[in-house]
């Protein structure tokens, strides 16, 4: 399975710095699938900078409705109109800061797919949930609650305690959780669930990418901090595919 390396730029970059970062990635295209998810206001500039290159562009969130009175929100069709072909949904920062439930994430998945976007749905447990031994139950419930039966996208396993902390999950933890997620996906979707990519996210850096990307059932990475430095993001992409 070809791996996907996705960069989540979060609330960083200006139009100029986003276009420059995109241009630097364009120069270093590698042998895996690559995706960058800039802030919504930078989508048009980044899509233009990457036009004709295999590096794909995505949003970081969308609303669960196709249009309407939702001040400050962005519809999936607007992301598509700006050049996005993917969207990250249910990131733990959105689940925590915007109180997004699994039902909300599920509605967003349906809206995204309705607009022709491929969703990356994030799941993952907190440090307390892991230390209490509830990590599989938490992730299992997120999968069941967030993924509609028509789901046609990618799952990203992102333990909350590993995001932005510099402390990646251990190989054993990643391997065990990805095996668990695979079993759940097959239970939910049958053979289709056996083919879905499952990304790992949480402090992926050039120095741990080779070992993380070599683990069984790791279909790529969702990268935060390191995706803001072109050389680091490209090094991670090289670890995955080329």
Helix extents (H) in the chain: 15-27, 43-49, 76-81, 92-97, 102-114, 127-131, 135-146, 171-189, 191-195, 206-213, 230-241
Least distance CB 175 / ligand PEP (angstroms): 18
Least distance CB 25 / ligand PEP (angstroms): 16
Over its C-alpha atoms, the chain yields an Rg (Å, rounded) of 17
CA dihedral 58, 25, 34, 147 (to 10 degrees): -30
Closest residue to ligand PEP: CB criterion: 224
Backbone φ and ψ for 213, nearest 5 degrees, come out as: -75, -15
Looking at residue 146, what DSSP letter applies?
H
Q: Which one of 12-20, 24-32, 140-148, 216-224 is the stretch in contact with ligand PEP (CB under 6 A)?
A: 216-224
Q: Which one of 22-30, 111-119, 127-135, 199-207 is the stretch in contact with ligand PEP (CB under 6 A)?
A: 199-207
Question: Binder to ligand PEP among 59, 119, 201, 220 (CB under 6 A)?
Answer: 201
Cβ count near 85 (within 10 Å): 15
**Site size with ligand PEP, rule: CB under 6 A:** 13
CA distances to 34, 38, 44, 51, 163 from 241, in Å: 10, 22, 27, 21, 23
Q: Which one of 13-21, 59-67, 217-225, 229-237 is the stretch in contact with ligand PEP (CB under 6 A)?
A: 217-225
Question: Binder to ligand PEP among 129, 155, 224, 233 (CB under 6 A)?
Answer: 224
- 223 near ligand PEP (CB under 6 A): yes
Contacts of 38 (CB under 8 A, 6+ apart): 9, 13, 18, 22, 46, 57, 60
Least distance CB 163 / ligand PEP (angstroms): 4
Backbone φ and ψ for 221, nearest 5 degrees, come out as: -140, 145
- 140 near ligand PEP (CB under 6 A): no
Among positions 155-194, residues that touch ligand PEP (CB under 6 A) are: 158, 163-164
* Residue (77 or 109) nearer to ligand PEP, CB: 109
Instruction: Determine the 3-state secondary structure of 123 from DSSP.
Output: strand
* Residue (140 or 202) nearer to ligand PEP, CB: 202
Taking CB under 6 A as the rule, which mask of x and - marks residues 1-40 in contact with ligand PEP?
-------x--------------------------------
Catalytically active residues, by annotation: 91, 158
């Amino acid at each position: 399975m070809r791996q996907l390396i996705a960069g989540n730029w979060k609330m960083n970059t200006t139009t100029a710095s986003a276009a420059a970062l995109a241009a630097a990635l364009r120069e270093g295209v590698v042998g895996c699938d690559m995706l960058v998810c800039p802030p919504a206001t930078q989508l048009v500039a980044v899509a233009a900078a990457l036009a004709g290159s295999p590096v794909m562009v995505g949003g970081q969130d969308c609303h669960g409705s196709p249009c309407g009175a939702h001040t400050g929100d962005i519809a999936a069709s607007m992301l598509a109109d700006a050049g996005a072909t993917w969207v990250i949904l249910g990131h733990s920062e959105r689940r925590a800061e915007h109180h997004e439930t699994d039902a909300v994430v599920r509605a967003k998945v349906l809206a995204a797919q309705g607009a022709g976007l491929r969703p990356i749905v994030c799941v993952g447990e907190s440090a307390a949930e892991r230390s209490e031994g509830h990590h599989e139950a938490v992730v299992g419930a997120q999968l069941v609650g967030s993924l509609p039966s028509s789901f046609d996208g990618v799952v990203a396993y992102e333990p909350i305690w590993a995001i932005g902390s510099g402390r990646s999950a251990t190989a054993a933890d990643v391997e065990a959780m990805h095996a668990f997620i695979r079993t759940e996906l097959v239970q939910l979707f049958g053979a289709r669930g056996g083919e879905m990519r499952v990304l790992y996210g949480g402090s992926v850096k050039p120095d741990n990418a080779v070992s993380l990307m070599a683990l069984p059932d790791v279909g790529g990475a969702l990268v935060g901090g390191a995706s803001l430095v072109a050389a680091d993001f490209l090094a991670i992409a090289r670890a995955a595919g080329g």
